Structure 1
């Protein structure tokens, strides 16, 4: 369990960076669509499709971040606590894009794209669920959601991030020993690792990993994307 939570905690860094990657794609594509509107460079079918693709991937990352925080820190982290303003929208949209395969960006006004409602889907119990989405354009809502969610994660990590287990010397040694098993590495690499066992084991001493700081740094990088938009 500890080893799994170490890996999940580590994944928060990568998932925050992934959020930034898709957010930047949404921002860049929204600007491209706006520019093509101004130039009356039509049609925009390809760009609108791509915007939906990026938005679908973007929405799924919030579920990953929510679950990773809960598992690694062993805390309750609801959609509402993750995003007081957009929690219900996040919950609805993530289910719609994942379970229904829906592309939610369905309207354009002026130079911008929107998700207009009311939206409707059938939940896991067979009930009809409707939702009225926020009125912001897709680029704005993506930035605003990210800003609020990252602020919540930052607060959570500062409070409970020390609950995330980090690898110690014994964990590194165990990984080293496991790497000598199986047939993934070529025999010459295995032998080289065996020949240098003492040096490799000694290199694990005094390794310090500050997972809280790593998460906060990754959050800051995404926040900088939002500020520059």
Structure 2
């Protein structure tokens, strides 16, 4: 059993690696909790560890963070509501992939059998639904600048969505669609005809926003990220570990 509540003195005595390990232990198997429960869990238990780790961040300059972030990451715990707009997400088949060309993707897999019309129809075909949110990233005025540029969907047989398959899917879309489009094209709402009306509305609201992102802590293997869909929204927190 992990002792979550530590005094400031005890936190100061922990090494940076021990702080990261504590966060991973505390959040293990908790990413499937309801969002409201995760928000309270952050406030009541995780925040002191996150605050202390943030004070240890040696890469405060966003420009210095750019080369560090490139690669494939597993979001092991998050309070971002976007990916769970749909029920049934397979949490260990969710990925964040940053390419060194300024594009990155959030990829998630969903299983059928839930009370969402098109997901129920998939059950008899043993299909799964993969969703990819594609974004551009850069640093402007010393801050991370994020822009949503596309949403992709795919229906597949129930084979695991491995890191290799997720990477290949993102690379294929980036090469075939993103780099051939005009950089000055206005942001268009995505085609989400396979989803029900209420879900489409929530996706479009999130997609048309300009996300804000800040690394409270980052090194080559661990990221603690604070993000907001827009300035007035409640901040979300994500813990991600590098897979490669």
Q: TM-score range by the shorter chain?
A: under 0.3
Bigger strand fraction: 2
The structure with the largest helix share of the pair is: 1
TM-score (norm 1): 0.24
